[in-house]
A and B are shown apart, each in its own frame.
Chain A
Amino acid sequence: DGGITQSPKYLFRKEGQNVTLSCEQNLNHDAMYWYRQDPGQGLRLIYYSQIVNDFQKGDIAEGYSVSREKKESFPLTVTSAQKNPTAFYLCASSAVGSGANVLTFGAGSRLTVL
């Protein structure tokens, strides 16, 4: 089955540590996205990538970094510079060219800072 796989589902981090969240898709989608969701709130865009080796900052990119070396993969690193990293992180992908950017989401990764 085609889909998006995020791992790990739950992650605990000590303050000062960097952590990397994995996102892999087998939908042959060109575009991939990372969103952050805090309790009771909507999704906020962190980074997105329309094509391999290219990505753009979203609304809350500070303290995060990404890479897009392969079409299937878009890992997100939460760095120690991110002051409040505890949140639910969602990865998504979409086909480019349809105009509408309908997103397929992964199951999410919940990060907790201890």
Chain B
Amino acid sequence: SQKIEQNSEALNIQEGKTATLTCNYTNYSPAYLQWYRQDPGRGPVFLLLIRENEKEKRKERLKVTFDTTLKQSLFHITASQPADSATYLCALLMDTGRRALTFGSGTRLQVQP
């Protein structure tokens, strides 16, 4: 079956360090991979999208990599701040023709001051 896996353990880091979150998938050949941020009790907010033919994408302090051979995406937040504390979700558009995103379970990031 097709699966998207994110580390279910919370990630705790010190302010100023780089946070790295992982998204692994099996049995997909996605054309796009997306990352969203979700704060408690709120809807997710879109952060970044990366295409299958792109190795890396950057936006301010955020960087996403996409390795279609390893079937993995890494999401980096450099110079992390306490305000970056949230749950981060990766999402894929399945290659089965269904035009709706499938989400991972998310990883909670806690940045300590």
Q: Which residues of A contact B (CB under 8 A)?
A: 4, 31, 33, 35, 40-45, 48, 50, 56, 58, 88, 90, 92, 96, 99-108, 110
Contact = CB atoms under 8 A, between A and B. Distances in A.
B13 interface: no
Interface residues of B, number: 27
Chain B interface mostly: strand
B11 interface: no
Contacts of A103: 36, 44, 46, 91, 101
Contact of B43 (A44, A90, A96): A90
18 contacts: A33-B100, A42-B103, A43-B89, A43-B103, A50-B99, A88-B41, A90-B43, A92-B43, A96-B99, A99-B32, A100-B51, A101-B32, A101-B93, A101-B100, A102-B49, A103-B91, A105-B45, A110-B41
B89 A42 contact: yes
Interface string B9-28: 00000000000000000000
Which has the most chain B C-beta neighbours within 10 Å: A40, A101, A110?
Answer: A101
Given A106-B43, A107-B42, A108-B42, A100 B103 contact: no
Contact of A43 (B41, B44, B51): B44
Contacts of B105: 40-42
Contacts, number: 65
Contacts of B4: 42
Interface in B25-42: 31-32, 34, 36, 41-42
B93 A100 contact: yes
Contacts of B65: none
A45 B99 contact: no
A26 to B, nearest CB: 16
Contacts of A58: 100
